[in-house]
């Protein structure tokens, strides 16, 4: 019935149009469909990347379009790699990435493991846990700034209640020692649910019969966890770490909203430095070189990590 | 039927005509770009007279201070046509002039007989001239502004506090005239209970993101003897920026921050300062004079409760204050430069300037500020006049942005984060600024 209808439609198609349709090969049709996307990618991803690479070898400044652009060779790269402040920003970024990933993975996996027990009301608690992840970083940054406020902030009062330290002395965003942790706490609060979701998917993918076999072999819960749960969920955990690592390496919004990189330069992560160089100091060539260095670093590290991830998956 | 048709045609024509007329009027509208703050509201009110007189409508693009520079410098750098007129910050003048963002106004001033001699000299140098101290004008002084101080006159006049203060420091509690006095007062009020509430000494600028801590620290450093460069050899900064006196000034600013500011004041600028003063948290408050009309009207802290004083003197008796404020310029990418120039001509008028002051704007016209009635026209008028007589401004070079970012970092690292010493901060600043000028080929 369907074939007959198709035949009828084909016969009814005017000859010139039918010729034109027959003229496009499957490959041509495929290119026709994907070409808008490719053009868009070239325009908004590939071209800016190559343009930034070109600019990184020049002294170009976006706020001085009339000035002659000089080729500096590798001078921008040399200056960045020898800049003490840049290395401090990279250390701050590394500290932030390390601690957020560690905390989010440990707490996220623990929560996933608990949720996977399927206790009464687990669906409700899953939804509650996911709420922070659904909020906009701008909202989160702003309300945590109020929570951290030493004179009226709830966080300061809770700390004061627990420790007996006056709330006005709990200056999470002004204190050099505490400010990095203030950001780590907020990022962990917001993104642990994301890690939990990925880990939960991993835990749910472990076939039940493996645990049944382990039970038959009288393996303890501890043994089951170390020999079945963790190894089988490991690719998922590693995937979560990869996603969060890339995200946090280029973290900007939360830091900008909470501390703006301060006090001093204590929380000035690489992306804040990059923004300052590019859009406040208008060193476009210099900041392009810095952006390329960051891109290569993230790309290189992510590639090494993905290879490790593939090895774990193949085990 | 015929009459119905006529009526319909008439209505259609009327609608078409009114739309066309409104479109023509719309096409003549000027857009003025500025920061979103109280004086901008006064300017909206004032500009209604311009529309009445000329038929040219006014639209406004106001951006909060924290994004003001980013937003409008991007607009200018991209040769955008959003702004026909712009009230740009004083430090932009060098870059805007050299990069061709502003229309040079000399010929226009000559033609319209607008004389820069009619304006307060410091505002002409600060807001209009590039290169500085040369008769090349790129803006008309529009909004005079300067960093000064407000204080709680009602607290200062309490007999029990006066007595305690005199016993402790040996002089009468009153608006300070030196920075040492200011610090003593701030220490006296810090964490004091007043009307059952804990209050603090002073609110000062510590903001990191834009220009806050630089404006605040410079406001003190000038009076301690800080100089940007060797007056005899431009761009020579060693021994001037990081002189012993400058080091003492920066150490004082840090000491004031450490001893006497409210908790959590590590990123405070104009808005946070106003909030601290309005909420009755602080005895003294550093801020630009534009905040004063609003504070004067405030029900809780205004009226008789507030007093104003000029930036105090340094240890050697030098007294300077950080210049704020802006000039109004015609954007060279605007298609409506003729109408925009009409606005400038109208704005320079004596009566318009007098009304500008009465609405809450700070006129820079001599005939307004030198009027014998001016000092008594508002409680803060005298402090404003005295402050405007002692102003100094930050670099207005085309590279002002990297120069500012360097000082923001160095000052915040030392004052707020406590990293290194004042000497190290200022030595670092000399290094950073030297690099900027070398990149510009000026050294």
Q: What is the DSSP letter of A220?
A: -
Q: In this complex, which of A261, A262, A281 lies closest to B401 when CB atoms are compared?
A: A281
Residue A213: what pLDDT? 94
Cα separation, A280 vs B13, whole angstroms: 53
Average pLDDT over residues B434-440: 92
Between A168, A263, A279, which is nearest B266 by CB? Answer: A263
The set of residues, in sequence order, having a beta carbon less than 8 Å from that of B159 and lying 6+ positions away, is none
- Reported as half-sphere exposure (CB side, CA atoms, 13 A), residue B386 has a value of 16
Query: A152 with A292, same domain?
Result: yes
Q: A160 in contact with B at a CB cutoff of 8 Å?
A: no
For residue B401, how many other CB atoms are within 10 A of its CB?
Answer: 26
Q: Does A173 contact B267 at a Cβ distance shorter than 8 Å? A: yes
Distance CA A202, CA A109 (A): 10
Hey, is the C-beta of A66 within 8 angstroms of any chain B C-beta?
yes
Q: What is the pLDDT at residue B106? A: 97
Kindly state whether residue A117 falls inside one of the protein's structural domains: yes
Same domain assignment for residues A213 and A310: yes
Distance separating alpha carbons of residues B323 and B368, to the nearest angstrom: 19
Amino acid B19: pLDDT = 45
Query: Does domain B147-322+399-439 match CATH 3.40.190.10?
Result: yes
How is the beta sheet containing B140-143 ordered, strand by strand?
B58-63, B30-35, B85-89, B326-330, B140-143
Count CB neighbours of B386 within 10 A: 18
- Do residues B413 and B420 lie in contact, with contact meaning Cβ atoms separated by under 8 Å? yes
Looking at residues B154-183, what average pLDDT do you find? 97
> Which tokens go with B322?
């950080």
Global pTM exceeds 0.95? no
Domains B28-145+324-392 and B147-322+399-439 share a fold: yes
Q: Give the HSE-up count for residue B94: Cα atoms under 13 Å, Cβ half-sphere.
A: 15
As a whole number, mean pLDDT of residues B303-322 equals 97
A274 CB within 8 Å of a chain B CB: no
**Touching check for A72 and chain B: CB below 8 Å?**
no
Low-confidence ranges of chain A (pLDDT < 70): 1-6, 9-10, 17-22
Answer yes or no: do A174 and B412 touch at CB < 8 A: no
The total number of structural domains in chain A stands at 2
Strands B192-194 and B306-309: unpaired
Question: What sign does the CA torsion over B123, B129, B134, B135 have?
Answer: negative
A206 vs A153, A202, A222, A225, A229, CA distance in Å? 44, 7, 16, 12, 7
Q: So what's the pLDDT on residue A8? A: 75
Q: How far apart are CA A160 and CA A174, in angstroms?
A: 17
Q: How many residues does chain B have?
A: 443
DSSP helix/strand/coil, A185: helix
**Contact residues, B window 323-382, toward A, CB-based 8 Å cutoff:** none
The pLDDT value recorded for residue B209 is 85
Q: Give residue-wise pLDDT tens across range A153-194.
A: 999 899 999 999 888 888 999 999 999 999 999 999 999 999
Q: Would the pLDDT of B244 be above 90?
A: yes
Is there a single domain that holds both residue A22 and residue A158?
A: no
What is the tens place of the pLDDT at every residue in B400-427?
889 999 999 999 999 999 999 999 999 9
A26, A88: one domain: no
B10: pLDDT confidence band, cut at 50, 70 and 90?
Answer: low
Half-sphere exposure of A94 (CA within 13 A, CB side): 9
Statement: residue B52 has pLDDT above 70: yes
- Mutation target vs B (from A78, A263, A284; most B CBs, 10 A cutoff): A263
Residues A95 and A207 in one domain: yes
Cα B358 from Cα B99, distance rounded (Å) = 36
Q: Of B41, B111, B99, which Cα lies nearest the Cα of B74?
A: B99
CB contact under 8 A, A264 and B73: no
Rounded Cα distance, B14 and B295, in Å: 50
Query: Whole domain around residue A89: which residue ranges?
Result: 77-314
Q: Are residues A143 and A213 in the same domain?
A: yes
Q: What is the pLDDT of residue B22?
A: 44
Q: Which SS3 state, helix, strand or coil, does residue B135 take?
A: coil
Q: Which of B385, B253, B376 is nearest to B309 (CA)?
A: B385
Does residue A32 sit within a domain? yes
CATH topology of domain B28-145+324-392: D-Maltodextrin-Binding Protein; domain 2 (3.40.190)
| ∠ Cα B252 B172 B201 (to 5°) | 40
Q: Which residue of A151, A262, A283 is in closest CB contact with B416?
A: A262
Cβ–Cβ below 8 Å for B266 and A262: yes
User: Which chain B residues touch A259 with a CB distance below 8 Å?
Assistant: 267
Does residue A68 belong to any structural domain of this protein?
A: no
The domain ranges of chain B are 28-145+324-392, 147-322+399-439
* Two structure tokens written together for B96: 């805007």
Helix axes B422-439, B244-260, angle to 10 degrees: 120
């Amino acid at each position: 019935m369907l074939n007959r209808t198709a035949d009828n439609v084909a016969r009814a198609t005017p000859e010139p149009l039918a010729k034109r349709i027959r003229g496009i090969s499957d490959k041509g049709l495929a290119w026709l469909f994907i070409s808008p996307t490719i053009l868009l990618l070239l325009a908004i991803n590939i071209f800016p990347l190559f343009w930034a690479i070109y600019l990184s070898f020049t002294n170009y400044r976006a706020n001085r379009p009339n000035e002659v652009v000089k080729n500096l060779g590798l001078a921008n790269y040399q200056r960045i790699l020898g800049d003490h402040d840049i290395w401090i920003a990279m250390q701050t970024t590394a500290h932030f990435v390390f601690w957020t990933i560690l905390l989010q993975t440990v707490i996220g996996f623990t929560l996933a493991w608990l949720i996977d027990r399927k206790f009464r009301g687990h669906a409700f608690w899953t939804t509650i846990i996911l709420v922070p992840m659904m909020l906009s970083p701008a909202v989160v940054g702003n309300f945590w700034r109020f929570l951290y406020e030493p004179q009226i902030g709830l966080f300061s009062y809770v700390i004061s209640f627990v420790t007996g330290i006056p709330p006005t002395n709990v200056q999470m965003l002004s204190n050099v020692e505490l400010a990095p942790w203030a950001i780590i706490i907020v990022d962990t609060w917001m993104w642990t649910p994301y890690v939990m979701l990925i880990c939960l998917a991993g835990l749910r993918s472990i076939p039940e019969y493996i645990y049944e076999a382990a039970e038959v072999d009288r393996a303890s819960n501890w043994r089951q966890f170390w020999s079945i749960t963790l190894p089988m969920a490991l690719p998922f955990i590693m995937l979560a770490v990869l996603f969060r690592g890339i995200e946090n390496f280029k973290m900007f919004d939360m830091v900008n909203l909470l501390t703006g990189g301060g006090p001093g330069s204590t929380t000035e992560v690489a992306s804040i430095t990059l923004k300052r160089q590019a859009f406040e100091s208008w060193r476009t060539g210099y900041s392009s070189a810095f952006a390329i260095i960051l891109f290569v670093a993230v790309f290189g590290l992510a590639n090494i990590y993905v290879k490790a991830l593939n090895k774990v998956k193949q085990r | 039927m015929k009459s119905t048709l006529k009526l319909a045609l008439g209505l259609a024509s009327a609608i078409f005509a009114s739309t066309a007329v409104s479109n023509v009027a719309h096409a003549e509208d000027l857009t003025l770009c500025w920061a979103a703050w109280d004086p901008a509201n006064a300017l909206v009110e004032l500009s209604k007279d311009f529309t009445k007189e000329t038929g040219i409508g006014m639209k406004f693009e106001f951006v909060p201070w924290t994004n003001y520079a980013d937003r409008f410098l991007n607009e200018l750098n991209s040769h955008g046509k959003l702004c026909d007129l712009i009230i740009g910050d004083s430090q932009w003048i060098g870059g805007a002039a050299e990069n061709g963002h502003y229309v040079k106004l000399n010929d226009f001033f000559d033609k319209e007989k607008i004389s820069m001699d009619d304006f307060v000299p410091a505002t002409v140098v600060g807001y209009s001239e590039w290169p500085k101290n040369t008769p090349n004008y790129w803006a008309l002084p529009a909004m005079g502004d300067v960093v000064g101080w407000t204080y709680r006159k009602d607290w200062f006049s309490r007999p029990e506090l006066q007595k305690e203060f005199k016993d402790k420091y040996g002089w009468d509690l009153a608006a300070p005239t030196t920075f040492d006095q200011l610090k003593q007062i701030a220490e006296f009020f810090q964490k004091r209970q007043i009307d059952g509430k804990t209050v603090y000494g002073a609110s000062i600028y510590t903001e990191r993101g834009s220009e806050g801590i630089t404006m605040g620290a410079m406001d003190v450093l000038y009076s301690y003897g800080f100089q940007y460069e060797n007056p005899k050899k431009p761009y020579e900064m060693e021994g001037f920026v990081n002189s012993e006196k400058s080091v003492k000034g920066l150490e004082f600013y840090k000491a004031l921050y450490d001893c006497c500011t409210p908790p959590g004041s590590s990123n405070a600028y104009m808005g946070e300062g106003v909030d601290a003063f309005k909420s009755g948290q602080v005895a003294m408050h550093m801020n630009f004079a534009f905040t004063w009309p609003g504070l004067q009207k405030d029900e809780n802290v205004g009226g008789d409760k507030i007093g104003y004083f000029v930036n105090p003197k340094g240890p050697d008796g030098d007294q300077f204050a950080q210049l704020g404020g802006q000039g109004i310029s015609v954007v060279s990418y605007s298609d409506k430069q003729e109408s925009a120039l009409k606005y400038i001509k109208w704005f320079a008028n004596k009566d318009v300037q007098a009304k500008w002051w009465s609405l809450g704007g700070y006129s820079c016209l001599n005939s307004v500020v030198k009027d014998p009635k001016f000092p008594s026209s508002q409680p803060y008028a005298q402090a404003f006049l005295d402050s405007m007589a002692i102003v100094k401004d930050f670099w207005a070079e085309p590279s002002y942005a990297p120069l500012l970012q360097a000082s923001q970092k160095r000052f915040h690292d030392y004052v707020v984060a406590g990293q290194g010493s004042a000497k190290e901060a200022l030595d670092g600043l000399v290094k950073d600024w030297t690099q900027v000028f070398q990149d510009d080929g000026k050294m």
